[in-house]
Chain A
């Protein structure tokens, strides 16, 4: 799986949009971008994933650049409960025919939502 680079930490005011960047410049054509978050002392929670189109669900939006070398996770209206470490990973899911079973996390971005 390709490596990712994320800022170590970010702050965001409550109620504002939180934009978390991720660089994955060595991503290959069949690798998807996944985002997870980990609230203190809990297991990571899946947020969203995508291949090349932008994606949106009830939790967040995922914007992937046209060259797919970077992406941004957007939490549209951050709340105090969104304070967590956010992980961006890239992997090939098994249904892509060359799926990787490895699931490797980097150090993530510690997002602090400020009242």
Chain B
């Protein structure tokens, strides 16, 4: 079955510092990949999704970016963090075709920008 690895689990970063969160998927190939953010007490906000290597769709304008350098690797980055970037970041994947029955989520990274 599919497993999503996210790291780190928690991160405290100063305002203006760069960010790189990595997500890797095991157990499948050619997945659709997603980055979500959840601010404290709020719902899940879709940030980016990718249907293949180098293909990124952005859902909301922001100072974050995403990249997919390999089939099962999805990276969320920022050049300069803002206080408003604090939140719980989740990576998810769905499968293609008849295997597309559910989304699988990682355990998340809790980012605090100070």
Do A and B share a complex? yes
Residue of B nearest to A106 (CB): B43
Q: Which residues of B in the span 25-66 have a Cβ within 8 Å of any Cβ on A?
A: 32, 34, 36, 42-44, 46, 49, 51, 57, 59
Q: Is B67 at the interface (CB under 8 A from chain A)?
A: no
Q: Is B92 at the interface (CB under 8 A from chain A)?
A: yes
Give complex CA distance A49, B105 in Å: 16
> Judging by beta carbons under 8 Å apart, are A103 and B49 in contact?
yes
- Number of chain A interface residues as a range: 20 to 34
The stretch that binds A, out of B13-21, B70-78, B95-103, is: B95-103
- Number of chain B interface residues as a range: 20 to 34
**Min CB–CB distance A97 → chain B (angstroms):** 10
**Min CB–CB distance A81 → chain B (angstroms):** 17
Q: Is B107 at the interface (CB under 8 A from chain A)?
A: yes
**B residues within 8 Å of A by Cβ?**
4, 32, 34, 36, 42-44, 46, 49, 51, 57, 59, 88, 90, 92, 94, 96-98, 100-108, 110
